[in-house]
Amino acid sequence: MYILSGLRALLLGLSMIFYMLIYSFRLLFISHTPERAFALRRSWLKYMGKPILNLRVTVEGSNVNEPALYVCNHRSFADPLAILPYLDAYVIARQRSLLIL
């Protein structure tokens, strides 16, 4: 089990480095735009989500074409990885503070 999770983490890290190197090389010829960055992220998540992480997502309905707020119930840290292949969105995280009395 630990070997499989370590292999998945290694593949994710290497693939992320590979994608970022290709994107950095492309920046020499074309300018950076949020749309290109979203396309890079969608492409990376498409090839990493199911084959490497074994994420299975069922999509119901469609996203709206106006400003919206999508909220996850945070069952795991994989929520952004499962949702972002289908949305062009910025991820905002909130840290829970620990109060010790």
Instruction: Write the pLDDT tens digit of every residue in 48-75.
Output: 877 787 877 788 887 777 887 777 776 6
How much is the pLDDT for 80? 78
Task: Return mean pLDDT, the chain.
Answer: 81
How much is the pLDDT for 28? 92
Long-range contacts of 78-86 (CB under 8 A, 24+ apart): 78/53, 81/45, 81/48, 81/49, 81/53, 81/55, 82/49, 82/55, 82/57, 84/41, 84/42, 84/45, 85/42, 85/45, 85/46, 85/49, 85/57, 86/57, 86/59
Find out whether 92 and 80 touch, Cβ atoms under 8 Å. Answer: no
How much is the pLDDT for 41? 87
Quick check: is 99 in a domain?
A: no
Quick check: is 15 in a domain?
A: yes
What's the predicted TM-score (pTM) here? 0.70
How much is the pLDDT for 4? 87
Quick check: is 94 in a domain?
A: no
The domain total for the chain is 1
Quick check: is 37 in a domain?
A: yes
